[in-house]
């Protein structure tokens, strides 16, 4: 906390130092380089008064800066909303303090000191007050604002970790165009006007007193050199500040964009101002948050409905009305599931069931199928929807054979540990179904509707009595090639069907 206070106090002092530099240059110009005609010259009293007055003005500026920025020095003592508002307004507050100081300086050095020394004149007072307040104060205030904004950026991030500067109201918003225009006027127009005034005054004096022409031209040369030197210094300094105020956040935004292009959705563009560039950075961060949220939803969605269905739904290719498709449906069911559950600790049942489902789903996915749902110990999968596949029957039987092999591997450590191996039965049928999104307005699921689904489930039931773990229907068998070895079984009648059906046991 002490380090934070000292750091911010140094920043306020650094800003006041810029006022001191501007005051020294103004003093040199109006009292040494181009004094008024009634000015007898610089004395030690003038220098002492300047030092004392500037010490008081700078001390006043530091004290006022500490008072107005008190929420920044001890944020724990103030309302967080007030702290954020004061933090965002810091460059404007310091610029206002600088402007107030230069107005006081114009009155002190343009009116009070000439009156105290007996050289006060209306023309001289107007010249000095205008020159100190408007010209010297204007250029210095621009330096104060741009430097305060530049050096305050690192501190500003501690008050706005989320970069939501636009949410703060009651703070001026200095647009980039106005900032560039102000710097242009101060670095181009004002020096030209000063040179024009100096040339006009010296030309008038030469016309009135030709004998002093040489001395006046020498004075004019000194003034021009001084103004050019100070003007170049101010122009370069202000241009660098304003260029940095634009280029630096753009570079950081570009770096954040490069990180996003590389796949890093945790990248953020620092928001360090409430102008157009800050608005662009905030918009980029909001866009990135939306992308990250969409990516999270997409990834999570895929865990519930499979990635293929997710992609089809997000692409708008799965309609509520559904579509007729020829597919191959696979049902798998564990045997003796209820006795196993009753004899096994619940956590182990869930753990082993999840392992089993993971292995079976991997087999289905490897052959291009989709697991539609897990129902207790049963698996329903489809091949050929929602992504079409001409060889969906072959894929389904291939998945069933791999499920058989994976179950043997799954059971090996169970049997080694003295546990009962798990058994399952798989039924496969090829037919036409209605595939699409089913459900109400608030909840939908991708499902298959049709007699083919019921028949696939009934064929799976037949594995309990047929002495085979994989059975396929005649329509599925007709779509297979000779590489799949099957054995025909006696025709059977299943529940819900009046006609007998042919089934085949898959050997390999």
- The CATH number of residue 425's host domain is 3.30.70.1230
At 303, the pLDDT band (50, 70, 90 cuts) reads low
Lowest mean pLDDT among 47-51, 164-168, 485-489: 164-168
Domain boundary among 172, 206, 229: 172
* Contacts within 8 Å (CB) and 24+ apart, 230-239: 230/25, 230/29, 231/187, 231/191, 234/139, 234/143, 234/186, 234/187, 235/187, 235/188, 235/191, 237/143, 238/139, 238/142, 238/143, 238/146, 238/183, 238/186, 238/187, 239/183, 239/187
Average pLDDT in the 2-12 region? 69
- Nearest 5°: CA angle at 72, between 69 and 77? 105
pLDDT score at 404: 94
Q: Which of 274, 27, 15, 247 is nearest to 140 (CA)?
A: 15
Q: Does residue 366 lie within any of the structural domains?
A: yes
Lowest mean pLDDT among 59-68, 187-196, 246-255: 187-196
pLDDT at 296 over 90: no
- What would the pLDDT profile of 334-388 be if each residue is shown by its tens digit? 987 878 888 888 888 888 889 999 999 999 988 988 888 888 889 999 998 887 8
Between 360 and 436, the more confident residue is: 360
pLDDT score at 301: 57
Average pLDDT in the 225-238 region? 81
Q: Does residue 311 lie within any of the structural domains?
A: no
At 320, the pLDDT band (50, 70, 90 cuts) reads low
pLDDT score at 297: 67
Burial class (CB in 10 A: 0-12, 13-18, 19+), 269: buried
Between 120 and 488, the more confident residue is: 488
Q: Does residue 198 lie within any of the structural domains?
A: no
pLDDT score at 321: 61
- Mean pLDDT for the chain overall: 82
Lowest mean pLDDT among 204-218, 241-255, 342-356: 204-218
SS3 450: coil
Judge contact between 471 and 488, C-beta under 8 A.
no
Winning range, highest mean pLDDT, from 96-100, 265-269, 438-442: 96-100
Q: Does residue 57 lie within any of the structural domains?
A: yes
pLDDT score at 473: 93
Average pLDDT in the 409-413 region? 91
Tokens read off for 256: 């954040």
CA pair distance 253, 270, nearest whole angstrom:
7
Domain boundary among 138, 172, 206: 172
pLDDT score at 37: 60
Average pLDDT in the 100-127 region? 85
Judge contact between 473 and 502, C-beta under 8 A.
yes
Average pLDDT in the 170-176 region? 82
Tokens read off for 207: 């016309």
CA pair distance 54, 20, nearest whole angstrom:
7
CA pair distance 94, 17, nearest whole angstrom:
12
CA pair distance 236, 229, nearest whole angstrom:
11
Q: Does residue 44 lie within any of the structural domains?
A: yes
Between 44 and 445, the more confident residue is: 44
Domain that holds residue 355: 318-506
pTM to 2 decimal places: 0.59
pLDDT at 434 over 80: yes
* Contacts within 8 Å (CB) and 24+ apart, 479-483: 479/328, 479/391, 479/393, 479/394, 479/430, 480/393, 480/394, 480/397, 481/394
pLDDT at 192 over 80: no
Structurally, the chain folds into a number of domains equal to 2
- How many CA atoms lie less than 13 Å away from 328 in the CB half-sphere? 30
CA pair distance 369, 308, nearest whole angstrom:
9
Q: How far is CA 193 from CA 60, 186, 429, 464, in A?
A: 32, 10, 93, 102
At 130, the pLDDT band (50, 70, 90 cuts) reads confident
Q: Does residue 464 lie within any of the structural domains?
A: yes
pLDDT at 51 over 70: yes
Domain boundary among 149, 172, 195: 172
Judge contact between 72 and 8, C-beta under 8 A.
yes
Q: Does residue 478 lie within any of the structural domains?
A: yes
Average pLDDT in the 455-478 region? 91
- Nearest 5°: CA angle at 241, between 236 and 245? 145
pLDDT score at 460: 92
Q: Does residue 272 lie within any of the structural domains?
A: no
pLDDT at 102 over 90: no
Judge contact between 330 and 369, C-beta under 8 A.
yes
- Cβ neighbours, 10 Å, residue 182: 18
């Amino acid at each position: 906390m002490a380090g934070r206070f000292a750091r911010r106090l140094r920043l306020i002092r650094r800003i006041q130092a810029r006022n001191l530099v501007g005051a020294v240059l103004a003093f040199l110009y109006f009292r040494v380089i181009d004094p008024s005609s009634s000015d007898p010259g610089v004395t030690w009293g003038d220098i002492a008064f300047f030092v004392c007055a500037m010490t008081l003005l700078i001390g006043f500026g530091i004290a006022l800066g500490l008072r107005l920025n008190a929420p920044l020095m001890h944020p724990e003592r103030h309302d967080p909303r007030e702290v954020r508002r004061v933090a965002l307004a810091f460059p404007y507050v310091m610029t206002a303090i600088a402007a107030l100081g230069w107005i006081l300086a114009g009155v002190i050095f343009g009116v009070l000191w000439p009156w105290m020394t007996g050289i006060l004149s209306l023309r001289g007072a107007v010249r000095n007050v205008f020159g100190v307040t408007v010209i010297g104060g204007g250029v210095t205030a621009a330096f104060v604002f741009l430097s305060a904004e530049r050096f305050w950026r690192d501190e500003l991030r501690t008050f706005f970790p989320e970069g939501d500067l636009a949410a703060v109201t009651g703070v001026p918003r200095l647009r980039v165009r106005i900032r560039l225009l102000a710097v242009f006027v101060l670095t181009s127009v004002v020096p030209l006007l000063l040179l024009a005034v100096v040339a006009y005054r010296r030309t008038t004096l030469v016309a009135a007193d030709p004998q002093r022409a040489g001395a006046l031209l020498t004075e004019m040369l000194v003034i021009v050199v001084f103004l050019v030197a100070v003007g170049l210094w101010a122009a370069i300094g202000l241009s660098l500040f304003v260029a940095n105020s634009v280029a630096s956040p753009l570079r950081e935004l570009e770096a954040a964009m490069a990180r996003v292009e590389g796949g890093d959705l945790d990248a953020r563009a620092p928001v360090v101002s409430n102008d157009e560039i800050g608005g662009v950075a905030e918009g980029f961060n909001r866009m990135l948050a939306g992308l990250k949220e969409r990516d999270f939803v997409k990834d999570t969605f895929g865990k519930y409905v499979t990635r293929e269905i997710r992609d089809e739904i997000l692409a708008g290719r799965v309609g509520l009305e559904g579509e007729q498709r020829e597919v191959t449906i696979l049902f798998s069911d564990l045997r003796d599931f209820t006795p196993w559950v009753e004899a096994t600790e619940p956590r182990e049942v869930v753990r082993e069931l999840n392992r089993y489902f993971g292995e079976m789903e991997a087999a289905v996915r490897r052959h291009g199928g989709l697991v539609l749902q897990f129902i207790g110990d049963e698996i329903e999968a489809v091949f050929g929807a929602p992504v079409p596949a001409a060889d969906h029957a072959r894929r389904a039987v291939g998945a069933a054979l791999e499920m058989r092999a994976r179950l043997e591997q799954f059971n090996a450590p169970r049997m080694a540990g003295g546990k009962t191996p798990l058994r399952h039965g798989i039924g496969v049928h090829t037919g036409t179904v209605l595939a699409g999104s089913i459900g109400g307005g608030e909840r939908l699921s991708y499902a298959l509707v049709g007699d083919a689904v019921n028949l696939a489930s009934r064929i799976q039931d037949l594995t309990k009595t047929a002495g085979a773990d994989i059975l396929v229907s005649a329509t599925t068998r007709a779509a297979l090639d000779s590489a799949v070895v099957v054995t025909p079984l006696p025709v059977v009648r299943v529940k819900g069907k009046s006609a007998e059906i042919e089934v085949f046991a898959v050997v390999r």
